[in-house]
Structure 1
Amino acid sequence: MHATFPSLPGIAWPVTKRPITATRVEAHASGREVRSPLYPAALYEFTLPVEGLTPDGSFPGLGTASLQALLSLYIQCRGTWGTFLFTDPTDGVATNQALAAGDGTTTAFPFARTLGGLTETVGWVTAVSRVTVAGVTQAGGWSLTAPNLLTFATAPAVGAVIAADFTYAFPCRFMDDGVDFEHLMQGLWAVKSLRFRSIAP
């Protein structure tokens, strides 16, 4: 079970989200290259400036114990070692997302989300509110298998499109084994740069 990244009202701008990939490139004497992708899908690096954290609610807009929430997550993860779930407020909800078409035998389908012209598997599904098969809402007969599989008790029919409404998060780890928590004034702390990256689930 992953820890969850806390809600931090003091997160400031700019927030960066950087897709990262890895490719093995081998050059030949002819000048041609052979390129092999090493990751099956992109991973993401996040950088958040947190301008306001409070230990005691001195600044009501920052929560009641936001300093403790972030500090305890970082210590619990032991820096780069442990993992947590981060919900990106701009990339965490899918509505009527087509997942696959049934073949009459397959019962488990990975959750995915469409981003422009790309459809990729999501890292960790946090909740499923609706599942349809061939456009018909399924009241039961399915379950969420962590981290990201939709499992049916009976295989959907051949050609039946499977879709779902769901929320998802990114399994992540911190990128640094040390983070500076700055005490700016009584009751107010900050972290200039909090860096973490997604990992394969």
Structure 2
Amino acid sequence: MTAPMFPSLPGQSWPVHKRPIFSTRVASHVSGREARAPLYAAPLYEFEVSFEGLCADASAPGLGANSLQALLGLYLQCRGRYGTFLYVDPEDKAATGQAIATGDGTTTVFTLQRAVGGYVEPVSRALSVDAVYVNGAAQASGWTLVAPNRLSFVAAPAVGAAVTADFTFAYECRFVDDEADFENYMAGLWQVQSLKFRSVKP
């Protein structure tokens, strides 16, 4: 079953918070030295968004007809923290010419990943793969996208072949809390001052 999509609504306001979260075990010694062990191979992300205007009907077309039902309906469908949904970050949703792997002549399945500065991490959920290249040559066929985030080849890329791809992705998330405050501040108009959700491991 495909997770529902977080709605893109015109009533969303600024700022938007995006917090990368790691977990590190730290053991301090009497000498002042520390032993540190990272527990996460890749970060989780926590998002916090707000909506200044949500419309309960079609009376405020600039806010999107029934935008309240779209957002509240997603929250109810997920039953708070229980279910997951897909969130497309408008500022961070695509990779172009992204290095995926180097062929070894036997491996046919590769996890899609993206680079952030000098850091490389797997993507949570690939939405589409627009192009695949092996040593810079576009591959019109011979590969498929396998949920949630893998690229599968019919024939393994040759030893030393650079595998790159253009793709879009989303974060699979769950809400942080089991309750949310939807405020009716005017007839037919609602707002949400803070709605938090965080990514989950695929």
TM-score, with length taken from structure 1: 0.98
5+ residue gaps, structure 1, are none
Aligned-residue offset at 1:63: 0.9
**Cα deviation code 1:65-116 (max 9, x no counterpart):** 1100111110111111110000000000111111111010110111111111
Letter of the structure 2 residue corresponding to residue 13 of structure 1: W
Partner of 2:65: 64
Aligned-residue offset at 1:125: 0.2
Tell me, yes or no, if structure 1 residue 184 matches structure 2 residue 185: yes
Tell me, yes or no, if structure 1 residue 151 matches structure 2 residue 152: yes
Secondary structure in 1 matching 2:152: strand
4+ runs deviating over 2 angstroms: 28-31
Letter of the structure 2 residue corresponding to residue 47 of structure 1: E
Letter of the structure 2 residue corresponding to residue 85 of structure 1: L
Aligned-residue offset at 1:58: 1.3
Aligned-residue offset at 1:33: 1.3
Partner of 1:140: 141
Structure 2: how far apart are the matches of 1:112 and 1:61?
37
Partner of 1:51: 52
Structure 2: how far apart are the matches of 1:175 and 1:157?
44
Letter of the structure 1 residue corresponding to residue 143 of structure 2: W
Partner of 2:78: 77
Aligned-residue offset at 1:32: 1.7
Secondary structure in 2 matching 1:162: strand
Identity of aligned residues (%): 59
Letter of the structure 2 residue corresponding to residue 188 of structure 1: L
Structure 2: how far apart are the matches of 1:158 and 1:71?
51
Secondary structure in 2 matching 1:150: strand
Partner of 1:198: 199
Structure 2: how far apart are the matches of 1:132 and 1:177?
44
Secondary structure in 2 matching 1:3: coil
For these two proteins, the number of residue pairs brought into alignment is 201
**Cα deviation code 1:131-182 (max 9, x no counterpart):** 1111111111100111000000100001111111100000000001110111
**Cα deviation code 1:177-197 (max 9, x no counterpart):** 110111111221110001001
Structure 2: how far apart are the matches of 1:50 and 1:5?
13
Structure 2: how far apart are the matches of 1:6 and 1:198?
16
Secondary structure in 1 matching 2:12: coil
Tell me, yes or no, if structure 1 residue 108 matches structure 2 residue 109: yes
Secondary structure in 2 matching 1:75: helix
Letter of the structure 2 residue corresponding to residue 112 of structure 1: Q
Letter of the structure 2 residue corresponding to residue 126 of structure 1: L
Letter of the structure 2 residue corresponding to residue 27 of structure 1: S
Secondary structure in 2 matching 1:180: coil
Partner of 1:129: 130
Partner of 2:19: 18
Structure 1: how far apart are the matches of 2:193 and 2:58?
20
Letter of the structure 2 residue corresponding to residue 110 of structure 1: T
Secondary structure in 1 matching 2:27: strand
Partner of 1:169: 170
